[in-house]
């Protein structure tokens, strides 16, 4: 499996490989996923694949499907260069959100990533509050976030905006770059060592595809110019795909996100707002709402100017969003349990006797 080690195979996944797998399956990593179809890398090369009927049934019952970066056990048909994914290996990390739409389901954007580049444009796309949200999602999934402020060539005072971004990401490494012209990219090699996996996230038009093309040294992803007026772009990337870089690092590009709702996020928000959380821990009352309660350390910091009101408002908003999401999760679980018992009772009743 030496070839697969270059794609991130490690002892973590080796420990999950069973005797049954060794006899009938091959390990493979999902390098592309699009509308239920998969491209896998195996020890023998790339193949197309689909999921087994059993996995499809589990997914319909609330299970998760493979995503770009996942390691799977596959049954291969070498003569056709095709295969069937029979099971997923446990993930080390994941980058996920609540899927867009009314249904309460998780959407995994990338799996088994070591670092996530949060790409934000230094143009009309710049938004410190969005950076905070991305950081909470990345921390929650177990990966390391790194903020990349792109399009420095279009910004007259990139240092001022970088200072704002550092206030929103006080414990996170941050780099000011120009993907279009290659400026400031040298430090990124530290995160892209052979076998290391990095995911790119950011809003549409932030320059993720341009950055990927620059790092890989070829135009492998189509880029679209951002609109004049709002500096937003259409989705240049429509599928999540894993690329291998010339130096051996692995990079997963993702489509631009218009929504980034939490699937889970309590730990991520605590990590992204450690400064606010430390203040809240010193309030007199454990259930302090930081409004009119006496001896509130958060409100005192706001009055003294030690805490940015915009950062506090962002923290408060995300915590309320998490509470609302938790209620939706509970309701969904109750409905699923009710449906399950209804099916059980129906099965016990069985067909009626003819007399």
Write the pLDDT tens digit of every residue in 269-311.
999 999 999 999 999 998 899 988 999 999 999 999 999 999 9
CA 288 – CA 299 distance, rounded (Å): 10
In the predicted model, is pLDDT for residue 354 greater than 60? no
Residue 174 counted as domain residue: yes
Residue 304 counted as domain residue: yes
Report the pLDDT value the prediction gives residue 333, as an integer from 0 to 100: 55
pLDDT category of residue 153 using cuts at 50, 70 and 90: very high
Q: What's the pTM?
A: 0.84
Tell me the sheet residues that pair with 111. Answer: 94
Report the pLDDT value the prediction gives residue 348, as an integer from 0 to 100: 59
Q: Are residues 150 and 225 in the same domain?
A: yes
Q: What is the mean pLDDT of residues 41-55?
A: 94
Q: What is the mean pLDDT of residues 13-41?
A: 94
Q: Are residues 115 and 194 in the same domain?
A: yes
Residue 336 counted as domain residue: no
- Cα-only R_g, the chain: 23
In the predicted model, is pLDDT for residue 64 greater than 90? no
Q: Are residues 175 and 147 in the same domain?
A: yes
Write the pLDDT tens digit of every residue in 104-119.
778 899 999 999 999 9
Domain count, the chain: 3
Torsion-angle region of 39 (φ positive above 0: left; ψ -120 to 50: alpha; else: beta): beta
Report the pLDDT value the prediction gives residue 233, as an integer from 0 to 100: 47
Token pair for 298: 């958060």
Q: Are residues 236 and 278 in the same domain?
A: no
Q: Are residues 140 and 188 in the same domain?
A: yes
In the predicted model, is pLDDT for residue 154 greater than 80? yes
Report the pLDDT value the prediction gives residue 60, as an integer from 0 to 100: 78
Q: Are residues 52 and 118 in the same domain?
A: no
Residue 261 counted as domain residue: no
Of the two residues 312 and 349, the one the predictor is more confident about is: 312
Report the pLDDT value the prediction gives residue 351, as an integer from 0 to 100: 59
Q: Considering 34, 68, 88, which residue would you say is the last residue of a domain?
A: 88
In the predicted model, is pLDDT for residue 136 greater than 80? yes
Q: Are residues 240 and 113 in the same domain?
A: yes
Do 238 and 255 form a contact (C-beta atoms < 8 A)?
Answer: yes
In the predicted model, is pLDDT for residue 57 greater than 80? yes
Of the two residues 284 and 240, the one the predictor is more confident about is: 284
- Percentage of the residues of the chain whose pLDDT score is greater than 90: 66
Highest mean predicted confidence (pLDDT) among 201-205, 229-233, 242-246 = 242-246
Residue 221 counted as domain residue: yes
Average pLDDT of the chain to the nearest whole number: 87
Residue 14 counted as domain residue: yes
**Residue 151 domain boundaries:** 94-253
């Amino acid at each position: 499996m030496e070839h697969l080690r270059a794609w991130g195979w490690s002892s973590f996944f080796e420990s999950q490989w069973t005797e049954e797998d060794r006899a009938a399956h091959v390990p493979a990593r999902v390098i592309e996923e699009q509308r239920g179809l998969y491209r896998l890398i195996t020890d023998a090369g790339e193949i197309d694949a689909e999921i087994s009927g059993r996995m499809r049934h589990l997914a319909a019952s609330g299970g998760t499907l493979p995503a770009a970066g996942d390691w799977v056990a596959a049954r291969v048909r070498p003569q056709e260069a095709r295969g069937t994914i029979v099971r997923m290996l446990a993930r080390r990390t994941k980058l996920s959100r609540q899927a867009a739409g009314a249904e309460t389901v998780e959407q995994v954007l990338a799996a088994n990533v070591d670092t996530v580049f949060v790409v934000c444009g230094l143009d009309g796309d710049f938004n410190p509050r969005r950076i905070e949200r991305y950081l909470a999602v990345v921390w929650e999934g177990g990966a390391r976030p790194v903020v990349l402020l792109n399009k420095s060539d279009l910004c007259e005072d990139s240092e001022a905006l970088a200072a704002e971004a550092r206030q929103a990401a006080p414990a996170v490494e941050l780099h000011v770059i120009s993907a279009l012209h290659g400026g400031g990219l040298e430090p990124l090699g530290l995160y892209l060592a052979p076998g290391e996996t990095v995911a790119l996230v950011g809003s549409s038009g932030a320059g993720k595809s341009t950055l990927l093309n620059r790092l890989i040294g070829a135009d492998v992803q189509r880029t679209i110019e951002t609109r004049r007026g709002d500096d937003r772009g259409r989705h240049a990337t429509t599928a999540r795909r894993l690329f291998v870089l010339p130096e051996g690092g692995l990079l997963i590009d993702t489509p631009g996100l218009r929504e980034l709702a939490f699937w889970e996020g309590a730990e991520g928000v605590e990590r992204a707002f450690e400064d606010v959380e430390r203040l809240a821990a010193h309030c007199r009352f454990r259930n302090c709402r930081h409004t009119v309660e006496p001896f509130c350390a958060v409100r005192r910091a706001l009055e003294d100017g030690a805490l940015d009101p915009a950062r506090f408002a962002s923290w408060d908003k995300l915590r309320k969003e998490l509470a609302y999401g938790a209620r939706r999760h509970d309701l969904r679980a109750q409905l699923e349990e009710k449906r399950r018992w209804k099916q059980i009772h129906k099965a016990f009743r069985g067909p009626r006797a003819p007399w």
